[in-house]
Structure 1
Amino acid sequence: MTSWRSRGHRGDLSENEIDLTNDLYRRKKLAYIKKNPVPIKVIDIDKRGMITKGYFEQKAYVDYSGIAQKIPIAFDVKETELKSLPLSNIHIHQIEDLKEHAEQGGVSFILVHFKMYNEYYLIPLEMLEYYYNNSLQGGRKSIPYADMDKKFKIKRESNGIINYLPTINTYLSSKEELKKKYTV
């Protein structure tokens, strides 16, 4: 029997909070970030208009993309109940999307909710690539909470807003330091 929260919906609670945050950013004209649609080919719809049969036309992109302060942004949202973020939760095509985005001058990252600590962190692309590449060489298969840099902790406001824009600014000012730290 499958749980109602299948593998494909593990980040939905965090994504709902990010959707609210992005709506606030848009209304305040701070950023224009949208959830990317999942490319599904509909085969059959029932009388109520519900999709009863369909398939993924292609691998999904990362969860969100847009622009903030004239900077293109792309990121994926992950949740974990563990003391680390398993790399198995991040697909290679998502990493490749983030890398291509960064190569074109955009800012790319993972936004992770460590549910055990009720804390959100921005995981820079440099850190993600470092752990991913090391895992291919037999290294650990997750990114540990203990390795999260406190300067990339994202403030969660009392109204539920996950205020990640200031953390992106911190990320941008740390790019050179990150390149040195995570060079394999």
Structure 2
Amino acid sequence: MSMTAWRTGGLKGDALETLIEETHIQYKKQGLGIVEKIPTSVKVTKIDGKGCVCEGYFEKKSTVDFVGLIQGVGVAFDAKETMNPSLPLQNIHDHQIQFMIHYEKQKGLAFIICHYKKVDRYFLIPIHIVLEHIRNGKKSISYKVLPENFELDYRYNGVLNYIPVLNNYRKWKREIKT
């Protein structure tokens, strides 16, 4: 990460995304699933004499950070980090919300994995909870209002094990439909 990006607050989700990518390497090795990071499409406009990209722009809005299959279930999710005890909803872009809504309509699971850095806790936040907060005029989602069984197990061996919580999410979805 460049020092400029670090100082300006760019690449805010890099640490969490790296942790999630390491988790996906382990999941793949164990035969539990395959989830890929979706790259942001960048149009290169200038390359210096050494072949390094020095100018470019984002071609289009991205969807979410990760898409794949975990134990036969389609997943699409974004990684978010916040220094606050609440995740500002403005950090979840409209095009991401729309993508997740459509993904869920196709029987996939769409969610946010959020690291609440102030309390160093990780949660899986289903798109349904995001939409509920938006409908109720909330500006953020506090970790305190999330179901306890949606907290992720962070093992200090480089794995953020979210499969058990994914199973809790599937069960919760079945319960809210009945």
Residue in 2 that maps onto 1:11? 13
Deviation string 1:80-109 (CA, Å, 9 cap, x unpaired) is 110100011110000111111111110100
Letter in structure 1 aligned against 2:31: K
Structure 2 match to 1:21: 23
Aligned length: 175
Q: Partner letter of residue 22 of structure 1?
A: H
Equivalent of residue 55 in structure 1, options 44, 54, 57: 57
Aligned to 1:118: 120
Partner in structure 2 of residue 109 of structure 1: 111
Whether the 8 Å CA contact 1:81–1:115 is kept in 2: the answer is yes
**How many angstroms does 1:50 deviate by?**
2.0
TM-score of the two chains, using structure 2 as the length reference:
0.92
Please report how far the alpha carbon of residue 143 of structure 1 lies from its aligned counterpart in structure 2 after TM superposition: 0.7
1:158 CA displacement: 2.4
| Alpha-carbon distance in 1 for matches of 2:91, 2:7 | 14
Check whether the contact 2:152–2:160 (CA below 8 A) recurs between aligned residues.
Answer: yes
Choose which of 67, 72, 75 in structure 1 pairs with 2:74: 72
The answer to whether the 8 Å contact 1:88/1:141 transfers is yes
Q: Which residue of 1 aligns with 2:149?
A: 151
* 8 Å Cα contact 2:84/2:118 also seen in 1: yes
C-alpha distance in 1, partners of 2:90/2:7? 17
User: Conserved in 2, the CA contact under 8 Å of 1:64 and 1:74?
Assistant: yes
For residues 173-184 of structure 1, the aligned pairs below 5 Å read 173-178=171-176
Distance 2:31 2:105 in 1: 26
Deviates most, 74-83 or 47-56: 47-56
**Separation in 2, partners of 1:97, 1:6:** 28
Question: Does structure 1 conserve the Cα–Cα contact (< 8 Å) formed by 2:123 and 2:143?
Answer: no
Contact map agreement 1:126 1:179 (CA 8 A) in 2: no
CA positional deviation for 1:44: 1.2
Identity %: 40
Gap regions ≥5 residues in structure 1: none
How much does 1:5 deviate? 5.2
Structure 2 runs not aligned, ≥5 long: none
Deviations 1:29-72 (A, max 9, x none): 10100000101111111233321111111101100000111111
Out of 81-90 and 7-16, give the one that drifted further.
7-16
Shift of 1:133: 2.5
In structure 1, distance between residues paired with 2:152 and 2:138? 25
1:164 paired with 2:167, answer: no
Change (3 A) 1:179 1:52: farther
Deviation at 1:6, TM superposition (A): 4.5
Secondary structure in 1 aligned to 2:31?
coil
- The 8 Å contact of residues 126 and 178 in structure 1, kept in 2 or not, is answered as no
Q: What SS does the corresponding residue of 2:60 show, helix, strand or coil?
A: coil
**Aligned Cα root-mean-square deviation (Å):** 1.6
Query: Is 2:133 aligned against 1:131?
Result: yes
Structure 1's 20 and 167: CA in aligned 2 closer, same or farther, altered over 3 A?
A: same
SS at match of 1:126: helix
